[in-house]
Amino acid sequence: MSQTRTLARALLLGSLLAPAARADRPAGPQILHLPPGRHEAEQGILTPIPIEVSIPEHVPAARVLAHYKIRGVPDWTTLELVEGEGKWQGAIPCLEVSTITGDVVYYIRVHDRDGNVLAYSGTRHTPYRVLIVHDSARTDATLDRPSCPDPADCPRGLPGCPSEIVEKLPCASDDDCEGEASCGWHGYCEIDPRQHTWVGLSASQEFGLIDTTGACTLEAQENEGTLCERRFDGAVYYGSPVYTNEPRKFGLGNTRVWLGLEHLVSYATSVRVRLGYAVRGTGPTAPGGVPFVPVAAELGAVHWFGDDPFASAGFRPFVGLGVGYGMFDIRTSAHVRADVDQGDPQGGNDLDQEVDLWKRAGDAFVAVSGGTLLASDSGWAARAELTVLKAFPFDAIVITPRLGIEKGF
């Protein structure tokens, strides 16, 4: 046991001191150059493997972790060393060494207060090795072998007893994590089961709420994006209406297909971009007016409810906020009454009549949305969403239900 402690201490101390003179070393984990060859020690079964580390003063160590693996066990275990008397100490417990002979391997990493890896000695691919042999094969068999403590009297963390469980390993980047683990958004290593990027295809039907008071005047049709058509002949209405107190009305808008790309930037936040194309519902363009552009685009952010919702399949409710570009053609009806004092400059108009009213709203908008995503274990998901947007400078409130499918990667 003393041989193992001396070897581990000497190797790590020498490795840490070797680069100490490099005050200009680059930021990031410090690669510690180890002596060549296999670093081995030998000891008997049911014997704790002590680890003792001396850290130079120029290294601001806040946490020292030893990662070890017992022969025959597929997973690595983390042991947090305890600081005392200028050294960091711990022991791979004898109850875990057990009676299995063969190599026990380990390596050590030094972290600062923010979780950054300052230095490491050994790696998962080039670890320290301690050969566990039966008492009959020990070269130091004359030495007394420490007895393994009774598990009932063996609290975690005591040398020779089961290791303290370190559930979260701090990190600053993926390079600080081992195996398939990556550095999570909270600064700890984790196995990431989430699909971070989603590609989706959806369809939406728009409904608009517009103001019909004065919408059929010549001024409104020239400057506010409206167009009124007489029902009996389809001609653009150019009469002389009087203002009446008409209500705001709902109308049917465009049907669009959307292609979306969404990326997860934290456990419960994503950003997205969507491109849409109007496949039906386009209205007429007034003489001298701006032609309808069927393409729409939206850039937004989404908040997802729940505890780490992307870690598992199931329902994922969300709310979103977005801005974008788009034209919205909304069709409804309007009541017009001719101004008898002005006569009928167009001809053919009744005193009172219903006309078809089109409103071309846009070209910019802000939107809020809400809905849910039903995700499967295969990475496919179905989305149901309701969006309410405010179009400007040509004003309208547009309500858009949306259904779609998505694939996560």
Mean pLDDT over residues 160-183, rounded?
Answer: 72
User: What pLDDT is attached to residue 130?
Assistant: 84
- Tell me the average pLDDT of the chain: 82
Specify burial of residue 159 (Cβ count, 10 A radius: 0-12, 13-18, 19+). middle
Q: Please report which confidence band the pLDDT of residue 37 belongs to, taking 50, 70 and 90 as the band edges.
A: very low
User: What pLDDT is attached to residue 397?
Assistant: 97
Residue 111 predicted with pLDDT over 80: yes
User: What pLDDT is attached to residue 155?
Assistant: 57
353-401 pLDDT, tens per residue? 999 999 999 999 999 999 999 999 999 999 999 999 999 999 999 999 9
User: What pLDDT is attached to residue 174?
Assistant: 83
Residue with the bigger pLDDT between 332 and 86: it is 332
Dihedral through CA 346, CA 351, CA 353, CA 358, nearest 10? 40
Map out the domains of the chain with their CATH numbers: 2-190 (2.60.40.10), 197-408 (2.40.160.20)
Instruction: Indicate the helix (H) or strand (E) that contains 95.
Output: helix 94-97
User: What pLDDT is attached to residue 86?
Assistant: 72
Torsion sign across C-alpha atoms 229, 233, 234, 237: negative
User: What pLDDT is attached to residue 41?
Assistant: 65
User: What pLDDT is attached to residue 378?
Assistant: 93
Distances (CA, A) of 3 to 50, 120, 140: 10, 22, 10
Q: Report the DSSP pairing between strands 30-31 and 117-121.
A: parallel
User: What pLDDT is attached to residue 20?
Assistant: 33
Q: Please report which confidence band the pLDDT of residue 166 belongs to, taking 50, 70 and 90 as the band edges.
A: low
Q: Please report which confidence band the pLDDT of residue 310 belongs to, taking 50, 70 and 90 as the band edges.
A: very high
User: What pLDDT is attached to residue 94?
Assistant: 75
248-304 pLDDT, tens per residue? 999 999 999 999 999 999 999 999 999 999 999 999 998 888 999 999 999 999 999
The two most distant CA atoms of the chain are separated, in Å, by 124
d(CA 320, CA 314): 19
Task: Supply the pTM of this predicted model.
Answer: 0.66
Range name among 38-42, 111-115, 218-222, 320-324 with the lowest pLDDT average: 38-42
Residue 80 predicted with pLDDT over 60: yes
Residue 104 predicted with pLDDT over 50: yes
